[in-house]
Amino acid sequence: MSKRIIILNGSPRPNGNTKALIQKFTEGAESKGHTVKCFDLQTMNIHGCRGCFGGGKDKLSPCVQKDDMLKIYPEYMAAEIVVLASPMYYWGFSGQLKCAFDRLFAVAECNPSYENPKKDCILLMASEGDSKSNFEPVEKYYMSLLKNLEWHNLGIVVAGGVLHIGDIEGHKALEEAKSLGASL
Ligand X SMILES: Cc1cc2nc3c(=O)[nH]c(=O)nc-3n(C[C@H](O)[C@H](O)[C@H](O)COP(=O)(O)O)c2cc1C
Interface contacts to ligand X, rule CB under 6 A: 11, 13, 16-18, 87-91, 126-129, 134, 162-163, 165
DSSP 56-100: -S-TTS-SSS-STHHHHHHHHHH-SEEEEEEE-BTTB--HHHHHH
Angle, helix 172-182 to helix 17-31, in steps of 10 degrees = 30
| Least Cβ distance, residue 106 to ligand X (angstroms) | 27
Rank residues 136 and 150 by Cβ distance to ligand X and give the closer one.
136
Query: Alpha-carbon torsion 141, 147, 151, 155, what sign?
Result: positive
Rank residues 134 and 153 by Cβ distance to ligand X and give the closer one.
134
Going by C-beta distance under 8 Å and a sequence separation of 6 or more, which residues neighbour residue 109? 53, 55, 56, 62
- What distances in angstroms separate CA 154 from CA 55, 94, 122, 131, one per listed residue? 30, 21, 5, 22
Rank residues 92 and 117 by Cβ distance to ligand X and give the closer one.
92
| Least Cβ distance, residue 19 to ligand X (angstroms) | 6
Q: Which residue, judged by CB position, is nearest to ligand X in the bound state?
A: 16
Rank residues 117 and 129 by Cβ distance to ligand X and give the closer one.
129
Rank residues 15 and 111 by Cβ distance to ligand X and give the closer one.
15
| Least Cβ distance, residue 70 to ligand X (angstroms) | 25
| Least Cβ distance, residue 142 to ligand X (angstroms) | 14
Structural contact between residues 131 and 160, judged by C-beta atoms closer than 8 angstroms: yes
Nearest to 137 by CA among 171, 96, 89, 184: 89
| Least Cβ distance, residue 168 to ligand X (angstroms) | 7
